[in-house]
Chain A
C-alpha cells in the first residue's frame, strides 16, 4: 500500500533519517536503568528505612533524573539542525 503524497503536510517534509543512537543518549538510558533499579533495590533491601525511602528515593531520584536528562540531551543536536 502506498501512502498518498503526504497530503496532510502541505509543504514537502524532509525524509525520515534512520541513524544510530547517539552515545550520550545510550549512556543516558543505561544511567536511567541503573538509577531506577538501584534505587528501588535499595528501598527493598532496607524495607523499614522509611526516611531513606523518602529522602533518597522519593526526593533525590527524581532530581537525579532531571540532572541526567540535562546531561543526556546536551549536544546531540545543535540549533543549526533547524529545518
Chain B
C-alpha cells in the first residue's frame, strides 16, 4: 500500500539517475576511459539497481506476491506492461528487421510494417476485449480465470500447460538476448553473461514477486524509452542537424531511394547477384544428391589441400579449405542442413530490398497475404499472451486496467516510432558509406562491426572485384542496432546506454515470463491437484522455488543458442493466439460456452498451430524428407500458424459447446 503514494518520485529519480550516469560516462569517455569500462559500468549499475528494487519490495504476502496487492495505478501499470511487453526481440530486433527486410517485404515474406502494426494493434484488442473483464474477475492467473469461468479443473490444468509452453518459448529467446547484450557489454563469455544477468532477474522476481517486478519494470520502462529516444535524437542530429527523428528520416528517404535505384542498376551489383544465383543452383543440385555431391567435393578438397601443402601455403588457407562442410561433416543430415543454411543466406542476399521495397513489386502478391496473416497472429497473440494479460489483475479497478493498456500502448508507440525512423537513417549509412567502398578501405565502423566478438556485419566479395556490392553485405538483424553508435560516429557512451535499454527490455520481459511460468506450475498445477488447502505462505515459497528452477532451466536452454530470437518470439505469439484467444473471447462474451467447448478450443488451436510450426521446421523436414511445398498451407510462413489455429479453436469451441449440451 505504501508504494502507491509515490510512483512518480521513484520514476523521476530513476530518470535523473540515468541522465546523470550517462553524463558522467560521457565525461569519462571524453577523458579517454576505455570503452569496455564505460559499457561494463552501465551493465553493473543496471543490474544492481534492479536487484535493489527487488530486495526493497520483497514480500511473502500472497496477494502482494501474485498480483502486487491489486493497487497499482494505471500509469505505473501501463509502464510495467510496456516494459513487460517490449522484449529483446522488439527493442533490438525491429530496427534491424526494417533495415534489412524493408517496409513491405520481398513479395514473398512480410516486411517490417507487419511487425510494427501487429505489435501495436494488439494492445487495442487487449483494451477493448479483455483487460476490464479480467480485472473484474479478481483471479490471479489466466488458468485460474478460465478454471473459475468454466468451473473445471481440467480447463485450468490445460490452460496452465498452454501458458507454460508459450511463455517458455518466449523466455528462452529473452534469456538468449540477455546473454548477447551482457556478454557484449562486459566482455564475458556468452554463457557467463547469461548467468550474470539472470542473477539480476532472480533477485528481483524471486524476492518480491509481482510487486517487485512491477516497480522494477516501471524503472526499466524509463531506461528503455530514454535510451531509444536519446539514441534516435542523437542519430537524427548527426545526419540532419536537428533532433526531430521522424522529420530527419523523411528528409533522408528521397536520397536513399535515389541511391537504391542507382545500386539496383549497377552492372557490378547485377554481376554479384548472378554469381549468387549460380551458387544457389549448385547448392540445389548438391542438396538433391547429397552423397554423390559430398564425394565429388571431398575429392576436390583433397586435391586442393595436397596442392596447398606442397606449395607451403599458410596454415590458415589450409584450415579454410578443411572448414568446408563436405569435408568436415560425417553425417549426411548435418551436411544437407549446412548447405540449406548456406542457401538461405544466399537467398536473403539477393531477395532483400536495396532500399525499403524490392523493385517492380506487383501490388497483390504472396507477401501481402503473409503480412496480413502475420499482423493477425501478432495482434491476437499480444492480446492473449498470459504474462501480459496477468497485468490486468494488478490494478484496483477495471477502468484502471483499461487505462493502463492505453498508457502501455502510448509508450510502445513512442519506442517504435523511433525504431522505424532509426532504420531509415541507418539505411543511408549502409548505402552511402559501405556500398561501393573498396574492401581494403572500408569505413572504420564496418571494420569494427565485422571484428566485434559479436559480429554485426559480414562481407563476402562474391564477384571477386574487390568492391563491396549491396548483395555482398550481410547484416545481423537481431542485434544490429547495438552497433548504431559506431555506424553513426556518436559517442560510445550511447552503446552502453542502448545496451542498458536492451538489457532492461530483455530483463523486464524475462521477469514477467518467469512469474507466469512459476505461478502456473505452483498455483494451477501443484496446489490445484495436490494441496488445494495449502496456506498462502507455502504457496508463495513454492512459487519462489519453482521460479528459481525455471530460470536455471531456461538459462541452460538459452546457452544452446537458438538460431533466431525473432522467429521463436513470433512463434510464441501464434501459439498464444491459438491457445488462449478463442477460449477467452468465447468464454467472456458467450454464455453458451461450456467446459467441453473450452477444452476443445484450446486443444485444437494449440495442436494445429504446433503442427504447422513443427512440420515446416527445416530440421523436421529433413528428418521426414518433406518438401516445403507439401507442408505449407496457402503459402503462409510457419510463424503465421495462428491464422489456422485461431479459427479452428473458435470453431471447435463453438461446436463442442453446442454438441455437448452441458450447461454452465
Contacts and interface: CB of A to CB of B under 8 A. Distances in A.
B249 interface: yes
B409 A69 contact: yes
Interface stretch (B333-341, B398-406, B600-608): B398-406
Contacts of B63: 10
Interface in A35-83: 35-37, 39-40, 43-45, 47-48, 50-51, 53-55, 57-59, 61-63, 65-66, 68-70, 72-73, 76-79, 81-83
Contact of B410 (A18, A57, A66, A77): A66
B364 A59 contact: no
- Most chain A beta-carbon contacts within 10 A, residue among B138, B396, B588, B590: B138
Contacts of A14: 136-138
Contacts of A4: 153, 528, 532
Contact of A40 (B375, B400, B589): B375
Interface string B122-145: 011101110110001111110011
Given A4-B153, A40-B375, A69-B124, A50 B356 contact: yes
Nearest to A4: B532
Contacts of B375: 36, 40
A68 B124 contact: yes
A43 B103 contact: yes
Given A2-B153, A29-B128, A43-B103, A57 B402 contact: no
- Most chain B beta-carbon contacts within 10 A, residue among A8, A44, A65, A66: A8
Given A62-B413, A66-B409, A50 B103 contact: yes
Contact of A70 (B98, B145, B406, B532): B406
B250 A21 contact: no
Interface string B151-172: 1111010000000000000000
Interface string B234-258: 0000000000001001100110110
Contacts of B257: 50
Contacts of B108: none
Instruction: State the main secondary structure of chain A at its contact with B.
Output: helix
A57 B137 contact: no
Contacts of A82: 396-397
Contacts of A72: 124, 127-128
B84 to A, nearest CB: 17
Interface residues of A, number: 58
B64 to A, nearest CB: 12
Contacts of A45: 363
- Most chain A beta-carbon contacts within 10 A, residue among B121, B149, B250, B257: B121
A56 B57 CA distance: 43
Contact of B62 (A2, A10, A26, A70): A10
A3 B372 contact: no
Given A58-B103, A77-B398, A8 B140 contact: yes
A3 B153 CA distance: 5
Contacts of A26: 128
B153 A73 contact: no
Contacts of B154: 1
14 contacts: A8-B528, A9-B140, A13-B137, A17-B136, A18-B587, A32-B379, A40-B114, A43-B113, A48-B357, A50-B256, A51-B254, A58-B417, A62-B116, A62-B416
